[in-house]
Amino acid sequence: MAERRRAKARVAPDASGAMDVAVRFLGTRPRTRWELERRLRRAGAEDHVIEATLGRLVELGYLDDAAFARWWGEQRDRHNPRGRRMIEAELRQRGVPREVVEGFREQHAAPERAPEDGGLPADEPSRAREALAKHLRGRALPTDRKALQRVGMFLVRRGFDPETVRATLRAAADATDDLSQPSD
């Protein structure tokens, strides 16, 4: 199969070919400008064709790093809650510019979302509680020290700062103690 690939002469895509490659690439999920530029380079497009294609996609509204950052944060909060630091690192890995990441940080920290209304968690402790609940999947919080440390390290690996992790584990332990004590 590798021989077959090498046997084909690679033709650099023209403007319409580059647009086809870009549209197929954008068809699966939103992408950053950097990701799309890398994909077009891999396809063998020339620099002027890449710039023209990227410019046209920005014009049409299909390529927007700020919209990608919002989408990425929402997906993380909804499916796999992570801390702000981890989400920002993932955005940087995908080539989102620093000023867009900083704008995302300011917007993501704003308490405009209400979990009670079916929205996403508004703050870091809420996201940590949700990540812990998903991790435990209905099981009780472990009581022995080693197991509790493992749960704490899970949250740290998810990008939550140590103080948030400690507060979340304390709150979960208090809630577990309240449930286990018989009421008078």
Whether pTM > 0.75 for this model: the answer is no
| 55, 19 Cβ separation under 8 angstroms | no
- DSSP 8-state assignment for residue 14: -
- Unique residue bearing structure tokens 């590798």: 2
- Which pLDDT score, from 0 to 100, does residue 76 have? 87
CA 146 to chain CA mean position, Å: 29
- Unique residue bearing structure tokens 């405009």: 112
pLDDT (tens, 9 = 90+) of the chain, 184 residues, equals: 555 555 455 667 888 899 999 999 999 999 999 999 999 999 999 999 999 999 999 999 999 999 999 999 889 888 888 888 899 999 999 999 999 999 988 876 655 454 444 445 568 888 899 899 888 888 888 888 999 999 999 999 999 999 999 999 999 888 876 655 655 5
- Which tokens go with 153? 């390290």
- Which pLDDT score, from 0 to 100, does residue 118 have? 45
Q: Which fold has domain 13-60?
A: Arc Repressor Mutant, subunit A (1.10.10)
- Which pLDDT score, from 0 to 100, does residue 20 have? 93
Report d(CA 17, CA 4) in Å as an integer: 21
Report d(CA 123, CA 84) in Å as an integer: 9
- Which pLDDT score, from 0 to 100, does residue 117 have? 43
- Could you tell me the residue ranges of all domains in the chain? 13-60, 65-117, 124-180
Helices (H) and strands (E) in the chain, counts: 10, 0
